[in-house]
């Protein structure tokens, strides 16, 4: 996290250009209206022209982790008034929003890969929010229509995909007691399921529960697991689980590394040390980058989003990391979030801010302002 105070009438927010193709952005405020101006060139992954910013009103709270894939942003949006939770497709070029039809099902988690968008949902959610018939849906990204589905049972907690399969994390409650969690491999062709046991992760205090987040790639599945959200590596060929010295709130796989927003020691310890770059082969932490609220890796770049600790401003700092070192490259991009439309009971505006990137478009979803911010080439 960074600390930055922006006065109501301040005009320019930090711009330094040091050689090469560097970001040069100005955050402008005038009477509360936010504008963005650009100068020189922004090194925004595949973007090599002046970036422009646009704001898409989602008319609800973007929840969970969004996806940038197949020419669009895919995000689950919660409507507090109606209780619905639709999945939206936001066109990367036009900003047009279309709704993926799910009927009464509330989408919960997303992943992209193998030519599809994969969505976890619960057809019959119980009043306790427990789910006995968790289902994974395959959505055609071209038509935004469901083309297949498979029931996996119990509560789905995360999804991920690699070049071979979709991975599903889930858990079950019995009399309000969590039971051993499990990891499923979903074959994209046959929709057959293979279960991987997590019993090797059992502790003296409780059964092996629960999967917090998944990523997949480099011949392994990467799991943030248990109360400590410890990083665990699963070898799909052998079923062997390896617990690594990394703990975090987010995990992403891409650009030849595993990226964890977290720390190298168990709690109690400083809540976050920074962005950990981890060697997929050895499991060793290679470097520690800046502290961030969200991270996205892939499509040739790594981006992290930081939010201000100062409750008097709503500034987001977007930093590109060098995949080879895990350290900042180029100048950061500063963007101001829109005005809040809901109060999360004292939580900072940066709560659950998420970043996604694909095809030269950088996205930020901001829950309390009901918006998706899009940064593209002019």
Per-residue pLDDT tens digits for 60-72: 999 999 999 999 9
Lowest mean pLDDT among 27-31, 85-89, 322-326, 342-346: 27-31
Percent of the chain residues past pLDDT 90, beyond the cut: 60
Question: 46 pLDDT band (50/70/90 cuts)?
Answer: very low
Question: 178 pLDDT band (50/70/90 cuts)?
Answer: low
- Mean pLDDT of the region 269-288: 88
Lowest mean pLDDT among 125-129, 267-271, 280-284: 267-271
Lowest mean pLDDT among 95-109, 132-146, 158-172, 268-282: 268-282
- CA atoms within 13 Å, Cβ hemisphere of 161: 21
- My answer on whether omega of the bond before 210 falls inside 30° of 0, hence cis, is yes
- Mean pLDDT of the region 357-361: 91
Query: What pLDDT shows up at residue 5?
Result: 33
Both tokens assigned to 221: 């599945």
Using DSSP bridges, classify how beta strands 301-307 and 315-321 pair: parallel, antiparallel or unpaired. Answer: antiparallel
Query: What pLDDT shows up at residue 130?
Result: 78
- 246 or 227, which is more confident: 246
Question: 10 pLDDT band (50/70/90 cuts)?
Answer: very low
pLDDT over threshold 50, residue 330: yes
Complete domains list, the chain, with CATH: 25-377 (2.130.10.10)
pLDDT over threshold 90, residue 91: yes
Query: What pLDDT shows up at residue 29?
Result: 36
The closest alpha carbon to 226, from 250, 195, 247, belongs to: 247
Query: What pLDDT shows up at residue 116?
Result: 98
- Mean pLDDT of the region 200-207: 73
How far apart are alpha carbons 346 and 332 in whole angstroms?
28
| Helical segments of the chain, H only | none
Query: What pLDDT shows up at residue 272?
Result: 67
Query: What pLDDT shows up at residue 33?
Result: 37
Both tokens assigned to 135: 């289902």
Burial of 153 from C-beta contacts in 10 A (0-12 / 13-18 / 19+)? middle
pLDDT tens digits along 24-43: 333 433 333 333 333 323 34
What is the DSSP secondary-structure string of 203-229?
-SSSSS--EEEEEEETTEEEEEETTTT
Query: What pLDDT shows up at residue 128?
Result: 64
CA distances to 71, 246, 360 from 50, rounded to whole Å, are: 20, 37, 12
Lowest mean pLDDT among 25-34, 41-50, 194-203, 341-350: 25-34
- 244 or 270, which is more confident: 244
Query: What pLDDT shows up at residue 107?
Result: 93
Query: What pLDDT shows up at residue 199?
Result: 82
Query: What pLDDT shows up at residue 189?
Result: 95
pTM: 0.85
pLDDT over threshold 50, residue 177: yes
- Mean pLDDT of the region 179-193: 91
Cβ-contact 323, 304 below 8 angstroms: no
Give the chain's mean pLDDT. Answer: 83
Cβ-contact 359, 92 below 8 angstroms: yes
SS3 307: strand
Both tokens assigned to 81: 């008034």
């Amino acid at each position: 996290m960074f600390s930055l105070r922006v006065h109501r009438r301040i005009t320019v927010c930090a711009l330094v250009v040091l050689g090469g193709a560097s970001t040069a952005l100005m955050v402008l405020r005038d009477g509360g209206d936010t504008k963005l101006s650009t100068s020189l060139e922004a090194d925004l992954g595949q973007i090599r022209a002046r970036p422009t910013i646009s704001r898409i009103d989602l008319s609800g709270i973007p929840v969970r982790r969004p996806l940038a894939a197949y020419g669009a942003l895919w995000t689950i949006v919660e409507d507090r008034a109606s209780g619905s939770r639709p999945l939206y497709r936001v066109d990367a070029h036009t900003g047009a929003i279309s709704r993926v039809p799910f009927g009464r099902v509330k989408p919960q988690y997303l992943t992209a890969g193998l030519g599809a968008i994969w969505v976890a949902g619960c057809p019959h959610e119980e009043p306790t929010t427990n789910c006995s018939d968790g289902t994974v849906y395959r959505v055609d990204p071209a038509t935004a229509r469901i083309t297949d589905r498979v029931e996996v049972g119990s509560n789905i907690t995360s999804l991920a995909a690699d070049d071979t399969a979709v991975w599903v994390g889930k858990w079950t409650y019995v009399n309000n007691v969590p039971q051993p969690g499990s990891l499923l491999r979903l074959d994209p062709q046959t929709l057959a399921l293979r279960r991987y046991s997590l019993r090797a992760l059992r502790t003296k205090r409780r059964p092996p529960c629960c999967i917090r987040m998944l990523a997949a790639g480099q011949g392994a599945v990467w799991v943030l697991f248990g109360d400590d959200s410890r990083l665990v590596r699963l070898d799909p060929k052998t079923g062997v689980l390896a617990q690594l010295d990394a703990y975090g709130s987010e995990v992403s796989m891409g650009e030849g590394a595993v990226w964890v927003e977290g720390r190298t020691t168990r709690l109690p310890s400083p809540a976050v040390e920074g962005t950990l770059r981890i060697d997929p082969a050895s499991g060793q932490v290679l470097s520690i980058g800046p502290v961030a609220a969200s991270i996205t890796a892939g499509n040739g770049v790594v981006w992290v989003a930081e939010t201000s600790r100062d409750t008097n401003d709503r500034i987001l700092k977007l930093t590109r990391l060098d995949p080879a070192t895990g350290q900042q490259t180029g100048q950061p991009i500063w963007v101001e979030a829109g005005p809040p439309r809901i109060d999360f009971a004292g939580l900072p505006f940066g709560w659950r801010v998420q970043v996604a990137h694909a095809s030269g478009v950088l996205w930020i979803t901001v829950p309390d302002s009901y918006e998706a911010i899009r940064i593209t080439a002019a």
